[in-house]
Structure 1
Amino acid sequence: MCGSVCAECGEKAELKCSACKLVAYCGKEHQKKHWKVHKSLCRPFEVTQEPEVGKCLVATRDLKPGDLILTESPIVFGPRPHMVEEGPVPCPGCCRLIIGESSARCEGCDFPICHPDCAGLKDMEKHGHECMILGLRDVRAINGLHEFYRQDTLLALRCLLLQNRHPKKFAQLMEMESHMELREERTELYKDVDERVVGYLLDNFIAPLKILEGKSGKQVLEDTSRETLHKICGIIDVNALEINQDAEVSALYPTTYLLEHSCVPNTTHIFENAPGGYKITVKAALPIHSGEHITTMYTHCLWGTQARREHLRETKYFSCKCQRCRDPTELGSYLSALKCLGTDGEPCGGVQLPVDPIDDNTEWACDKCPIKLTSPEVCFLVNGIGEEVDNVQLANPTVRELESLLNKMLTFLHPNHYHVYAVKHSLIQLYGYQQGYLPSQITDDCLVRKTTMCRELLEITRKVDPGNARLPLYLGVILHELYLANWVLIKRKWDLGIKTKVKSVLAMLQESQRCLEQAKEALKNETNTPAGEKLINLVDTSTKEFNKFVERNKIDLSAKEKVKNGDEEVRHQNGD
């Protein structure tokens, strides 16, 4: 600690902050005094190296939900691959899709841009340095700009440009995991990346750059080797975070990439939008004890264990063994469970679950009878149902079509299965909105069915995402739709003179209030996403309407008659 000085008084210091080890103090008193200043800067973790996971972040003090863990700007970012053959392409300046009739082009590289005054075009850190290289392409040889944007070509080029502009950042980047041992020259992955990205970039941009360098005698890029480009592509595949806000962006962060995966992550993160440079803020979503690993999630929270583990193997090159993956019931959510069909066409009423979920070849056993299924049989069934769900969802289905599909699925799948969850989540958003099911048309029974679905979805969502780290929009939609279904029932009963003296009406009012409060809390970090902003506005409007109703009718929502689940009483009242 030679040469360290106290952050409070400037005198020689030998005591380091145990949490971040970034500042020193001459004694405990000055450390305590300086904490108000240092608290916002102190990183509550350390980087460690572990045999099974490599580099990772470990908490150095206890953290509560909401505690700040880190805030940082990306090393580099660029538009995500644009997988369409035609239509709008991203602007290289701001990464937003160019929608409408804009025919503006960058004066330097002739790429389509959103507007001649796009701030990103004038920023050397965003487009200025790459502009010259992009302008070297032979437009006759390149098969359209969509070919360019279908790959991570621009992001790979931006990574390459860091070596001369920001050598420290380039060094940070090249230290990231690329898993090149799994992407060797003989693999199909290598061949695919070599054709789509590396060869494309070398032939159309780097080759003309080398000719220009030879003529000018000035070297623009020192290392443009195939090996380096392949490593960069591996680093992007393994470590880049996807951002879907005002633009579709992939970004690489200097520390956040060290967060290891868990299917029950203990952190949540939010991004600033383009003007903020896509800065990321990571906060605790669950209590994290000192010494615990700090985790995020690299796959979809609402996929079953087989689907999640397969996706992680293919994209991140590891097999997850977290607590959720090891539990056949997935934390009691039964998100992958099947119904047992029994024998001779007589269902036994049992549930089929994997015997060992982290064994890809495990058998699936019924909890009531001796029937077992093989893993390939389960995959065939679940994948077939998944394809049917996707096809129906993409065809703008009606309520009746989704209800028919749901009834068919429930013959084979547990009511909590993730394919069932997806259909129910779509249905609750059609009840009350689609012709024939508008608020003035929908039956009381249908509304009660909607509230039941909402409560089922709430229970599953909270089990698989207890810290609301990955599913705030899903949770917000469910809570708001539960409120809306209750709200229609409440107003109908009020018009009939059935008021808060009836226990079920008071229960619905109290549940409605909780839904709005919880939806607001669930969506507090979603202000930078279009979907989040829209939903927040809907919740705010509903809250104002609800509060006016309560105030106008002088309703006491603190009354003792609180019912957790009012379904049976609502059904009873509907029959009165």
Structure 2
Amino acid sequence: MGDLCAECNQPAELKCSACKLVSYCGKDHQKSHWKTHKTLCRPFEVQENKDIGKCLVATRDLSPGDVILTEVPLVMGPRPHMVEEGPVPCPGCCRLIIGETSGRCEGCDFPVCHPGCPGLKDMEKHGHECVVLGLRDVTAINGLHEFYRQDALLALRCLLLQKRHPKRFAQLLEMESHMERRGPNSDIYRDVDERVADYLHSNFFDPMRILEGRTGQKVLPDVSRETIHKVCGIIDVNALEINQNAEVSALYPTAYLMEHSCLSNTSHTFDSESNGYKITIRAALPIKKGDHITTMYTHALWGTQARREHLRETKYFSCKCQRCVDPTELGSYLSALKCMGTSDEPCGGVQLPLDALDDSTEWACNQCEVRLSNHEVSFLVNQIGEEVDNVQLSNPTVRELDALLTKLQTFLHPNHYHSYSVKHSLIQLYGYQQGYMPSQITDDCLVKKATMCRELLEITRKIDPGNARLPLYTGVILHELYLANMILIKRKWDLGMKTRVKSIITLLRECKKCLEETKGVLKNETTTPAGKKLNDLVNTSFKEFCKFVERNKIDLNREEIKE
């Protein structure tokens, strides 16, 4: 039987050109059915590209906010935790096992967050694997962390799809594994062989084969080392990480086809655990018909060298996107250094790579003849990065971060990503730490905080113009700028400085703009604890702002105070 028209159920030959999923008997019925179909129509098609393989290409123009795709995972599980000590994730819910309620699974004796965890009985989570895990000789277990030393739960769940969901397993095997880069002579092969393949075979699959010999029934058709290595490659290359009260890795049937760009044109959010961590992908920037649909596989706040190195090591390609090609990183100067000249008077120039895609490039000053090798720059930036990390992890004071920032600015451009990190921490301490509380902080510090916020916003908007990757960073900056301005405004108001109406109105307008923009930036950030908390803070601030304006009869449009 041929295709049937989605509108009248009669034989049809005309297909929707965007998704190719529905058919129509003619243009009229296609047009009349569009109101129903447009919410289901996938605005992309899968294409094959000789350089990047399969990719998603837009089949119609998309505007920011348009939903491109929603889907649930093929498989998900606890994110790999290669730890010797400290909390490990529960196999039922993927939350870290912390607290007195933790225990062991009755079926396999694996450590769990709580013996009553609902995920333990769920066959799509722990229920199916529990039978296999229970085959291990529990008398040989040497404590809690022995279970997670090899860290192979997600790989096991992928293998278990063979029996329970064979179509899903077939979809999984279509994903890129880059086995040509992960062969027997590679370090990653040796690591996976010991950490996953040896662990699964010696503890579970060997006892399983004995059981199969007794019963004559196959538990799993294929547990070969070759398949285990391929599955681990697929996980490493394609899994998405989810941080929402749990630590989850998930593989999605279509989302994995989005190619990488350091200036991605989509954003994505995940539903709650109860909704199966369904992913929703939206356009973050205008996408034209024929454009590739992209995401970002690395961190937006890393410099070009760090991003490209990470992508080469984990995804096996060298990025050549618009941002990576540009030595200034779209005018953000996120990797730039100050001139390292040796003269008594620094020239004030900026040092940038001559060829950002060349790992052996020189870094040249734009004001003098001084040059540095890429190796020298990497060594300097890595040393600074270690110091920044050590300070950030030590619960620093405002003074300690201020001193660190002053030191960094001797070597780094003010916009460098290490300086960005310190400034982002500082704006969250001004107004909160003892000695800098709202009643204690000086006007100069408030002005300094507001200036830092504006600088950070300018950088963030250049590297993430569609709020695809950094909505929480941007939301924090906007809200902290609002708070800094409001403390200054209230002080001026309490001092009777109404004569300076224009300057106060200017700050109030910036406050209103910050709050309105923050609401827009955070509109999809409602499923993470951090997103919920920040949204609540912004809503509270907006109510307080409106009360202040109304109570003091301030007209933001006419730059006057009503009497």
With normalisation by structure 2, the TM-score equals 0.97
Amino acid of the structure 1 residue aligned with 2:372: L
Note if contact 1:338-1:413 (Cα within 8 Å) is conserved in structure 2: yes
Amino acid of the structure 1 residue aligned with 2:108: C
Aligned counterpart, 2:553: 554
Note if contact 2:82-2:151 (Cα within 8 Å) is conserved in structure 1: no
1:125 lines up with 2:157 in the alignment: no
Aligned counterpart, 1:570: none
Amino acid of the structure 2 residue aligned with 1:385: I
Aligned counterpart, 1:438: 437
1:19 lines up with 2:18 in the alignment: yes
* Offset from partner CA, 1:307-329 (integer Å, 9 cap, x none): 00000000000000000000011
Distance 1:173 1:444, change over 3 A: same
Aligned counterpart, 1:477: 476
Aligned counterpart, 2:227: 228
* Offset from partner CA, 1:487-519 (integer Å, 9 cap, x none): 110110010011374321111111111111111
Aligned counterpart, 1:522: 521
Task: Please report how far the alpha carbon of residue 560 of structure 1 lies from its aligned counterpart in structure 2 after TM superposition.
Answer: 5.7
Amino acid of the structure 2 residue aligned with 1:78: G
Aligned counterpart, 2:212: 213
Question: Could you tell which deviates more after superposition, 310-319 or 92-101?
Answer: 92-101
Secondary structure of the residue that 1:46 maps to in structure 2?
strand
Task: Please report how far the alpha carbon of residue 140 of structure 1 lies from its aligned counterpart in structure 2 after TM superposition.
Answer: 3.6
Amino acid of the structure 2 residue aligned with 1:410: Q
* Offset from partner CA, 1:291-342 (integer Å, 9 cap, x none): 0000000000000000000000000000000000000110000000010032
Amino acid of the structure 2 residue aligned with 1:33: S
Note if contact 1:82-1:146 (Cα within 8 Å) is conserved in structure 2: no
C-alpha distance in structure 1 between counterparts of 2:7 and 2:498, whole Å: 63
C-alpha distance in structure 1 between counterparts of 2:401 and 2:322, whole Å: 33
Amino acid of the structure 1 residue aligned with 2:555: D
1:84 lines up with 2:83 in the alignment: yes
C-alpha distance in structure 2 between counterparts of 1:513 and 1:391, whole Å: 37
Within a 5 Å distance, the mapping from 1:105-504 to structure 2 comes to 105-499=104-498, 501-504=500-503
Task: Please report how far the alpha carbon of residue 443 of structure 1 lies from its aligned counterpart in structure 2 after TM superposition.
Answer: 0.5
Task: Please report how far the alpha carbon of residue 88 of structure 1 lies from its aligned counterpart in structure 2 after TM superposition.
Answer: 3.0
Secondary structure of the residue that 1:20 maps to in structure 2?
coil
Amino acid of the structure 2 residue aligned with 1:458: L
Note if contact 1:142-1:204 (Cα within 8 Å) is conserved in structure 2: no
Amino acid of the structure 1 residue aligned with 2:111: P
Task: Please report how far the alpha carbon of residue 152 of structure 1 lies from its aligned counterpart in structure 2 after TM superposition.
Answer: 4.2
Task: Please report how far the alpha carbon of residue 150 of structure 1 lies from its aligned counterpart in structure 2 after TM superposition.
Answer: 4.7
Task: Please report how far the alpha carbon of residue 151 of structure 1 lies from its aligned counterpart in structure 2 after TM superposition.
Answer: 4.5
* Offset from partner CA, 1:21-44 (integer Å, 9 cap, x none): 111111111001000111111000
Amino acid of the structure 1 residue aligned with 2:330: L
Secondary structure of the residue that 2:69 maps to in structure 1?
strand
C-alpha distance in structure 1 between counterparts of 2:206 and 2:268, whole Å: 40
Secondary structure of the residue that 2:545 maps to in structure 1?
helix
Secondary structure of the residue that 1:125 maps to in structure 2?
coil
C-alpha distance in structure 2 between counterparts of 1:500 and 1:234, whole Å: 67
Amino acid of the structure 2 residue aligned with 1:194: D
Secondary structure of the residue that 1:181 maps to in structure 2?
coil
C-alpha distance in structure 1 between counterparts of 2:389 and 2:110, whole Å: 35
Question: Could you tell which deviates more after superposition, 198-207 or 14-23?
Answer: 198-207
C-alpha distance in structure 1 between counterparts of 2:511 and 2:269, whole Å: 28
* Offset from partner CA, 1:219-252 (integer Å, 9 cap, x none): 1001010000000000000000000002110000
Aligned counterpart, 2:531: 532
C-alpha distance in structure 2 between counterparts of 1:414 and 1:372, whole Å: 16
Aligned-residue identity in percent: 76
Distance 1:517 1:213, change over 3 A: same
Task: Please report how far the alpha carbon of residue 144 of structure 1 lies from its aligned counterpart in structure 2 after TM superposition.
Answer: 3.4
Q: How many residues align?
A: 560
Question: Could you tell which deviates more after superposition, 465-474 or 498-507?
Answer: 498-507
Aligned counterpart, 1:573: none
Task: Please report how far the alpha carbon of residue 524 of structure 1 lies from its aligned counterpart in structure 2 after TM superposition.
Answer: 1.2
Q: Which runs of 5+ in 2 are unaligned?
A: none
Task: Please report how far the alpha carbon of residue 103 of structure 1 lies from its aligned counterpart in structure 2 after TM superposition.
Answer: 4.0
Note if contact 2:150-2:199 (Cα within 8 Å) is conserved in structure 1: no
C-alpha distance in structure 2 between counterparts of 1:336 and 1:177, whole Å: 31
Secondary structure of the residue that 2:101 maps to in structure 1?
coil
Amino acid of the structure 2 residue aligned with 1:491: K
Aligned counterpart, 1:565: none
* Offset from partner CA, 1:367-410 (integer Å, 9 cap, x none): 11111111001101111110110011111111111111101110
C-alpha distance in structure 1 between counterparts of 2:559 and 2:501, whole Å: 13
Aligned counterpart, 1:574: none
Q: Which runs of 5+ in 1 are unaligned?
A: 562-576
Secondary structure of the residue that 2:180 maps to in structure 1?
helix
Secondary structure of the residue that 1:486 maps to in structure 2?
helix
Amino acid of the structure 1 residue aligned with 2:452: M
Note if contact 1:500-1:506 (Cα within 8 Å) is conserved in structure 2: no
Task: Please report how far the alpha carbon of residue 551 of structure 1 lies from its aligned counterpart in structure 2 after TM superposition.
Answer: 1.0
Task: Please report how far the alpha carbon of residue 94 of structure 1 lies from its aligned counterpart in structure 2 after TM superposition.
Answer: 1.4
Amino acid of the structure 1 residue aligned with 2:119: G
Note if contact 1:48-1:55 (Cα within 8 Å) is conserved in structure 2: yes
Task: Please report how far the alpha carbon of residue 210 of structure 1 lies from its aligned counterpart in structure 2 after TM superposition.
Answer: 1.1
C-alpha distance in structure 2 between counterparts of 1:560 and 1:548, whole Å: 18
C-alpha distance in structure 2 between counterparts of 1:149 and 1:520, whole Å: 41
* Offset from partner CA, 1:163-218 (integer Å, 9 cap, x none): 11111100000110000000000111111111111211111111111111112221
Secondary structure of the residue that 2:177 maps to in structure 1?
coil
Note if contact 2:363-2:373 (Cα within 8 Å) is conserved in structure 1: yes
C-alpha distance in structure 1 between counterparts of 2:482 and 2:280, whole Å: 31
Note if contact 2:475-2:522 (Cα within 8 Å) is conserved in structure 1: yes
Amino acid of the structure 1 residue aligned with 2:451: T
Note if contact 1:81-1:151 (Cα within 8 Å) is conserved in structure 2: no
Note if contact 1:91-1:112 (Cα within 8 Å) is conserved in structure 2: yes
C-alpha distance in structure 1 between counterparts of 2:55 and 2:279, whole Å: 18
Amino acid of the structure 2 residue aligned with 1:11: Q
Task: Please report how far the alpha carbon of residue 117 of structure 1 lies from its aligned counterpart in structure 2 after TM superposition.
Answer: 3.4
C-alpha distance in structure 1 between counterparts of 2:286 and 2:115, whole Å: 48
C-alpha distance in structure 2 between counterparts of 1:145 and 1:387, whole Å: 31
Note if contact 1:246-1:274 (Cα within 8 Å) is conserved in structure 2: no
Amino acid of the structure 2 residue aligned with 1:108: G
Secondary structure of the residue that 1:469 maps to in structure 2?
coil
Note if contact 1:431-1:437 (Cα within 8 Å) is conserved in structure 2: yes
Amino acid of the structure 2 residue aligned with 1:295: T
Note if contact 1:263-1:325 (Cα within 8 Å) is conserved in structure 2: yes
C-alpha distance in structure 2 between counterparts of 1:391 and 1:141, whole Å: 39
With normalisation by structure 1, the TM-score equals 0.95
